[in-house]
Amino acid sequence: MFVWLTCWDNDDDDDDDDDDDDDDDDDDEDDDDGDDGDNDDDEEKQKEEVDNDDEEEDDLMVVVMMMMMMMMMMMMMMMMMMMMMMMMMMVITLCYSNDCYGI
């Protein structure tokens, strides 16, 4: 899109130059500019199709990344819960064991 805009701006600059210079024969250049404009339109259509494909891929990637982040968060929460349960079990066994009376 950026390249197309710069080409479009350059075409406008060329048109301004053509208006300023009436003495030169610019008919051939005008024809070339017209051909470039057609090519720019074709390139723009191709770029739009590519952009649409990229947007679909980006949307898919966002969904996949969000699912992966959710799975990671769930796994981390499960690990934290298991660690807390293990610590509680250790504390309970230490408190109620016959070996240590100080706790």
DSSP conformational letter for 24: S
Domain of 39, in residue numbers: 2-96
- Domain-located, residue 102: no
| Per-residue pLDDT tens digits of the chain, which is 103 residues long | 455 555 555 555 555 555 555 555 555 555 555 555 556 677 777 777 767 777 778 888 999 999 999 999 999 999 999 999 999 998 888 877 766 565 5
Per the domain annotation, does 103 fall within a domain? Answer: no
pLDDT of residue 54: 74
Our count of domains for the chain comes to 1
The answer to whether residue 47 sits within a structural domain is yes
Q: Please tell me the predicted confidence (pLDDT) of residue 92.
A: 84
Q: Does residue 77 fall inside a structural domain?
A: yes
Instruction: List C-alpha distances in Å: 39 to 36, 46, 78, 89, 100.
Output: 5, 11, 58, 74, 86
Is there a domain that residue 71 lies in? yes
Is the entire prediction scored with pTM above 0.85?
Answer: no
pLDDT at 99: 65
